[in-house]
Amino acid sequence: MSVAVQLLTWNGEAFLGECLDSLSRQTYKDWQIFILDNNSEDQTSAIISHWFVHHRGHWQKNSQNVGFARGHNLLLKSHEWPYVFILNQDVILEPSYLDKLMSCFIARSRVGSATGCLLRLERDNERLTKTDTMDSAGLKIYRTHRVVERGRGEAAWPVGADEEIFGVPATAALYRRSALNEAAAKTSNGLEWFDENFGSYKEDVDLAYRLQLFGWRSVYVSAARGYHYRGLRGAVDADTALFGVATWRSRRERSATANRQSYRNHLLFIFKSFAFPPFSPVWWQTVFYETMKLFILIFTEPKTLMAWTDVYKLRGALAVKRRSILAISRGPENIARFF
């Protein structure tokens, strides 16, 4: 077997049945599923049990919700399969999705991660509807180290040639295990592929950055199609982001906890993985952007600034991980290609 499908579940009864059914219909058959349930309290366990009547795989249940990063790290420690497919419970895949991604990996030895074209999945009461609105075509990074989902909110992009991108969101993403192992942060508790200090939100951005630092490529495979329901959507990408009305309107639609967690994890990413030399042009642009953001948050979301308390408490762990990453990375040239 070649592909380990990792599925982390938590109260996913609204989506899980169709997600698993779409996985069953994949034309690529050389895979096995590894499910970890984060202590769901709905019908998630019953749905999984019913699915396993006709399918093989591994399933375990936590006594508590350990979050996205910790959950997937536990699954990664449970196997050594050469390819790892991270799948969200609220995703429905077209039958050729895995096949298209695997073809990309087979053709290119330095591809460390790949994603397809994800369109939005809408939910109306109990009904799920596929749309022609883009959810994500991979990750895009700016010189300021702002990272966004490409294509978010736009009309569906046409099928075209495979395209190299900065990174992939861990929504329906295929990773090469050797790339994950090389880019993992080394801690006293062993390897951390997804940084467990992040919990949830932006851990895939941090991993994408590290994969680039170690010379691995990320690819957008437009012919691979899937559908994703996104609760926290954000604004359509724009160069004016920090000063755009749409950006701040979308932040007001999210909870204060979500805004704080997102900002907190962005800061963790910057302090731990930022690879450009101090006082370089990219360093200055990033510092300026973050300073402006801080100034705006003081007046618009003062509670979000409590994120700095968390970052301060984690400064020791961040320093250890930063040293382990930058000591053997290939430098920021790969990342600079995307500015």
- How many domains are contained in the chain? 2
Residue 241: pLDDT band (50, 70, 90) is: low
> Has residue 233 been placed in a domain?
no
Does pLDDT of 243 surpass 90?
A: no
Are 217 and 307 within one domain?
A: no
Q: What is the pLDDT averaged over residues 213-234?
A: 90
Q: What is the pLDDT averaged over residues 172-198?
A: 93
Does pLDDT of 35 surpass 70?
A: yes
pLDDT digits (tens, 9 = 90+) for 297-331: 999 999 999 999 999 999 999 999 999 898 889 98
Are 211 and 262 within one domain?
A: no
Are 245 and 300 within one domain?
A: yes
pLDDT at position 124 is: 84
Q: What percent of the chain has pLDDT over 70?
A: 93
277 CB-near residues (< 8 Å, 6+ apart) = 283
Strands 83-88 and 3-9, how do they pair?
Answer: parallel
Are 181 and 256 within one domain?
A: no
Closest by CA to 313, choosing from 276, 267, 257, is 267
Q: How far, CA to CA in Å, does 214 sit from each of 31, 119, 187, 207, 338? A: 27, 30, 18, 11, 15
Are 98 and 216 within one domain?
A: yes
pLDDT digits (tens, 9 = 90+) for 131-176: 999 999 999 999 999 999 999 999 999 999 999 999 999 999 999 9
What is the residue-averaged pLDDT of the chain? Answer: 93
Q: What percent of the chain has pLDDT over 90?
A: 84
Tell me the two tokens of residue 241: 């982001």
Q: What residue numbers bound the domain in which 294 lies?
A: 241-336
pLDDT digits (tens, 9 = 90+) for 41-57: 999 999 999 999 999 99
> Has residue 251 been placed in a domain?
yes
pLDDT at position 248 is: 61
> Has residue 39 been placed in a domain?
yes
Are 98 and 174 within one domain?
A: yes
> Has residue 108 been placed in a domain?
yes
